[in-house]
Structure 1
């Protein structure tokens, strides 16, 4: 019976250090309440509106990544309503993928 030749695999990429939890990054109950109010006041995705479409916003995006800066995290002027699709596309474009 013939033997299967050995299989060679590239080494698995090293995992990045574990990302802090969402709570540790500032996404608390206070943020959830704020997010709910913000989306009720700004129900449509601004990117879709710019293309003439009315698509419900499901994400509150930080226009400038806050990087842990609480002033930037909570600044209403740094928030915009986006649909899931546009928020994901923005994340990929800025971070080179999901997560950091």
Structure 2
């Protein structure tokens, strides 16, 4: 088992398979194209903030599991904090985070809206 900072690597076998794709020249080109075309964090822009994007994110996390969709699937430009916390929370929960002025969830997939 691979070690990371002295701790066992907790990632799945699937994660090990797709993570190698991040090291390819093809991924570096996809990332550069995405960040050049959309240099600002999409989530920050939704909140009315202007923040440089540093991460090329797979909009649909399942795209990472398909070797071709890994490169060709829909991408979003995100800042590190949004990618590493907000986006991951949304993926784990299965719905977006946030609410309108009355307190109702914005995401139609939120359990409250089902």
* Helix, strand or coil at the partner of 1:88: helix
1:69 corresponds to which residue? 66
Q: Using the alignment, how far apart are the partners of 2:9 and 2:34 within structure 1? A: 35
Shift of 1:35: 0.6
Gaps of 5+ in 2: 1-7, 94-114
Higher radius of gyration, 1 or 2:
1
Gaps of 5+ in 1: 1-13
After superposition, what is the alpha-carbon deviation per residue over 1:50-98, rounded to whole angstroms, capped at 9, x for unaligned? 011110000011111124213421235x1000000000111244248xx
The runs of at least 4 consecutive aligned structure 1 residues that moved more than 3 Å come to: 14-19
Q: Under a length normalisation based on structure 2, what TM-score does the superposition of the two structures give? A: 0.58
Say which structure, 1 or 2, has more relative contact order (CA 8 Å, 6+ apart): 1
Q: Using the alignment, how far apart are the partners of 1:60 and 1:15 within structure 2? A: 23
* Helix, strand or coil at the partner of 1:87: helix
Q: Using the alignment, how far apart are the partners of 1:74 and 1:31 within structure 2? A: 7
Is residue 47 from structure 1 mapped to residue 43 from structure 2 by the alignment? yes
Q: Under a length normalisation based on structure 1, what TM-score does the superposition of the two structures give? A: 0.65
**Higher normalized helix content (fraction of residues):** 2
2:88 corresponds to which residue? 91
